[in-house]
Amino acid sequence: MFKQLKKYLYMIILGKRYIKIFRSIFANPLISLRQKHKQLSKERQNYSNAVLKLLNIEVQIHGEVPKNDRILYAINHRSLLDIIVMEHIFSKHDKIGTWIAKQELFDAFYGEFFKNSGCVSVDLESKKGLVSFFKTIKYLLSNIFDLNIYIFPEGERNKTDELLPFQAGAQKIAKSNNLDIVPVYINDRLERVFQEAPFTTPYVVEVHFGAVIENPQELEEKYKNLVQEVTR
């Protein structure tokens, strides 16, 4: 019981500290937009690495993380720990990126973390909001030459053992901004993993990177192929 309480308190206190760090970066008028997102990415990665260390979770990568940038990473989503695991991986490869998150996450109790850490919100229920969202993505990609986009194409947290139908957003972002897509499959139920953590011996999470997808229309089909290869 004490370990569980300690886990939550640690993440809340650490999160509040990083919100202050995020705000100071965004408020700095002396650095460029790219430099801001580079620093925000680095701080998100630092936060994630600290959390994984506390939980005693290690990450094993299968496949190759691309050396080049301006890639849309399409990732399955079952837990908020998915973001932390991916940020850990990106920290090892010096990636600059922004997460796409639904507006409701920005309005949740941990919303300040998302609002200030360089994530981009999307309101799927508002046509005006969608137009603004795609303009924001294009603006960021036009001004940050090595920016990557991180997205959950299922559109929401999946509580089942099957993939949910993909939303159209990932395809539209990739097509309109000429981005390659890399499918990423986290082969674990990280909600369960988080509940059981911290572990006395290291728990290994396996993350699979698929081949680059150049045609956005093939995303869902090739993602399913990756999952079948991993789980068969």
CB burial string 53-92: b at 16+ within 10 A, e below: eebebebeeebebbeebbbbbbbbbbbebbbbbbbbbbbe
For residues 178 and 159, what is the distance between their CA atoms, to the nearest angstrom? 32
- Residue owning tokens 């965004």: 26
For residues 86 and 98, what is the distance between their CA atoms, to the nearest angstrom? 12
Please give the pLDDT value at position 105.
77
Task: For 173-227, write each residue's pLDDT tens digit.
Answer: 999 999 999 999 999 998 899 999 999 999 999 999 999 999 999 999 999 999 9
pTM of the model: 0.95
Read off the pLDDT of each residue in 112-135 and give the average, rounded to a whole number. Answer: 88
Helix axes 169-176, 127-143, angle to 10 degrees: 40
User: Which of 74-78, 125-129, 144-148, 198-202 is the least confident region?
Assistant: 125-129
Domain that includes residue 38, residue range: 2-231
Read off the pLDDT of each residue in 123-139 and give the average, rounded to a whole number. Answer: 89
For residues 112 and 57, what is the distance between their CA atoms, to the nearest angstrom? 25
For residues 124 and 155, what is the distance between their CA atoms, to the nearest angstrom? 10
Please give the pLDDT value at position 3.
65
In the chain, how many domains are there?
1
Task: For 82-123, write each residue's pLDDT tens digit.
Answer: 999 999 999 999 999 999 988 887 877 778 898 899 999 988
Burial (Cβ within 10 Å: 0-12, 13-18, ≥19) of residue 26 = middle
CATH number of the domain within which 91 lies: 3.40.1130.10
Parallel, antiparallel, or unpaired: how do β-strands 71-75 and 120-122 relate?
Answer: unpaired
Please give the pLDDT value at position 173.
96
Return the closest-CA partner of residue 170 out of 161, 159, 160, 182: 182
